[in-house]
Chains A and B, each alone.
Chain A
């Protein structure tokens, strides 16, 4: 038997461990800030962000997403890096992170850095290390690309402030939507402590906006805003509770994004749920769809869900679901309806709504035009008229529309589609027959 007590790790090994440990963080966006290069140094940012590759799970790789260290003093039940787990541990040095970022960035592998960390020794010590890394990168290497850094809850506000002036985006993960869930699964974390840095970043951004209005070249504090992340399906919250928290984050703290991550059972623990069907990916998808409705379509959580209907219909996207429950507001006349009404039609997104509004000033629209503009007629056809006419005669009835909408290509759980009770007869594949 071989024992490895301590051995120098090479950079490749470290990167493997610390990227692997960081992969559960969802945020990999590089959007929200437009910055030209100053003419010396390396890097710029463009507002829509750029995806540089896609990993095997289909998620975008935009930033070098790593933990500074995966050593941690906490013992959160859901986390692979918790203190009581026996996993290989590693830590970078600020120099190593800088080398990696500059080497990758020059070769156009990445758009910037996403730096998170386990809690090494204390929150203050960890935040200090993150700050040092960012300082080195920004001031010594003149790196002007995107940096997303975690604010460590419980760290000194002065450190968080200084780091915020070097980063583009900061984030604190709420992890679990409710305080009870947090108490059960992450007993060392406290809700008020986690909200403190969020509140601090929010108020300093407000202040910074004033400064920038006065002095155009004042240093910018977290220009791309902050984001957060919640685990879905670990502690039994309803979609209603999750959406409420998300809405609160958007309204109260001007969050740029709230990310949802389907719970993965990486640890064996009796407090964690067993999900035989794998991570609840479809539920996560529905939450993201609803999240978009909150941010771009002017919906409120109350309209989509209520306390007696606390979960989304997994079979139908939230917008169609809403429309089917509000058929009295349809059909909408495309040539006359205002922008906000158009936004609420299933099959019309915010881009196509904008195009419709611009195009109809200069001419009459028909269904052919709508299709070319990017309206998904497959869904929209039940809810619109164009020039007073329907595309083809459809009934404005809930079950009729539902049956037709569910015919789509979207991947749904097996057996969900045949709600009507009709199916094609076949001699050989009887669903009740199994070998």
Chain B
């Protein structure tokens, strides 16, 4: 009989699952973690719901950082943000293996282990998305001075990019809205940032764009067009480096006629 711990699809949720699974003392081969609950149940399994618990997650984080190092924790945090059915279990196995190594820090390089490799791959994917959004986010200035932008990423990268923007624009009020998850990272001038769930986008956008906004957008479009070299035009290269899925909220590609990306 295998006990499957179903946890919420967040870092806190998964790490709570890790805590509970370990704490159940059934032996690692008798437990499994899962983030999906689509009603597709397996035979000879017992399903247990785990409620996300910050305290338990904190404990696990502390152990990971102490025994396996910051890098391993970063790897887990990034991997947890990428949608994948196997990730919760892979993270659990990685932690189990890491804590049994004489030097837990080596776990991040242990790519011969299939589950560690999965976590590694997910980390890489999530990092690519997060890193791209650090560049591709476009803020619009609203009448009340708030900088507002939207993203729509496969991975839940809000918490990964928010620290970057908080450091970059410490004196601004800004918000990054996740279109897919109706969440927003919100930063208040001179203070920290936080993540708000179930955000009403229309309410945030209430004040409307500021007076200068249109002018800067136009200037940016002028610049974007002027900087390309005609003789070297290479639409495929541009498309592979900046795929269409990222262009949705980028103003240099939005144009009343549509195809602003084509010269």
Q: CB within 8 Å of B: which residues of A?
A: 11-12, 15-17, 19-20, 22-24, 36-37, 39-44, 46, 48, 50-62, 64-65, 100, 103-104, 106-109, 111, 262, 264, 278-279, 281, 355, 358-365, 369, 372-373
Contacts and interface: CB of A to CB of B under 8 A. Distances in A.
Indicate the member of B131, B132, B229 with the most A CB atoms within 10 Å. B229
Interface of B: 101, 106, 108-113, 117, 121, 131-132, 134-141, 147, 149, 164-165, 167-172, 212, 216, 218-220, 222-238, 241-242, 250, 252, 261-263
A109 B138 contact: yes
Nearest to B108: A358
A355 B241 contact: no
Contacts of B237: 54, 57-58
Nearest to B168: A44
A44 B110 contact: no
5 shortest A-B CB distances, which residue pairs?
Answer: A58-B237, A358-B109, A363-B112, A55-B228, A56-B228
Contacts of B136: 52-53
Contact of B171 (A20, A22, A40, A359): A40
A57 B138 contact: no
Given A43-B168, A58-B241, A103-B212, A53 B224 contact: yes
B147 A19 contact: no
Contact of B167 (A36, A108, A109): A36
B109 A372 contact: no
A158 to B, nearest CB: 33
A100 B222 CA distance: 12
B112 A37 contact: no
Contact of A361 (B109, B137, B216, B241): B109
Contacts of B234: 56-58
A320 B72 CA distance: 35
A349 to B, nearest CB: 14
Given A42-B168, A104-B220, A279 B231 contact: yes
Contact of A363 (B113, B135, B138, B168): B113
Indicate the member of A355, A359, A369 with the most B CB atoms within 10 Å. A359
A372 B111 contact: yes
B110 A53 contact: no
23 contacts: A15-B219, A16-B222, A23-B228, A24-B229, A42-B168, A42-B169, A42-B171, A56-B225, A56-B262, A57-B232, A58-B238, A61-B224, A107-B141, A108-B139, A108-B149, A111-B135, A264-B231, A358-B110, A358-B111, A361-B106, A362-B113, A369-B117, A373-B111
A54 B243 CA distance: 10
B223 A19 contact: yes
A44 B231 contact: no
A364 to B, nearest CB: 7
A54 B117 contact: no
B185 to A, nearest CB: 13
Given A11-B219, A16-B222, A372-B117, A364 B112 contact: yes
B214 to A, nearest CB: 12
A50 B238 contact: no
Contacts of A11: 219
Contact of A55 (B131, B135, B238): B238
Contacts of A17: 226
A contact patch SS = loop
B226 A16 contact: yes
B222 A56 contact: no
Nearest to B176: A108
Contacts of A365: 112
A262 B175 CA distance: 42
A106 B219 contact: no
Nearest to B149: A108
B132 to A, nearest CB: 8
Contacts of A39: 170
A20 B169 CA distance: 29
A429 B16 CA distance: 65
Contacts of A264: 229, 231-232
A373 B117 CA distance: 8
A62 B225 CA distance: 14
Nearest to B190: A39
A108 B137 contact: yes
A58 B168 CA distance: 27
Nearest to B113: A363
A53 B242 contact: yes
A19 B227 contact: yes
B131 to A, nearest CB: 7
Nearest to B247: A53
A24 B101 CA distance: 53
Nearest to A46: B164
A52 B222 CA distance: 15
Contacts of A363: 110, 112-113
A51 B113 CA distance: 33
Contacts of B117: 369, 372
Contacts of A12: 218-219, 222
Nearest to A49: B135
Contacts of B219: 11-12, 15, 100, 103-104
A37 B112 CA distance: 39
A327 to B, nearest CB: 29
A393 B231 CA distance: 45
B136 to A, nearest CB: 7
B150 to A, nearest CB: 12
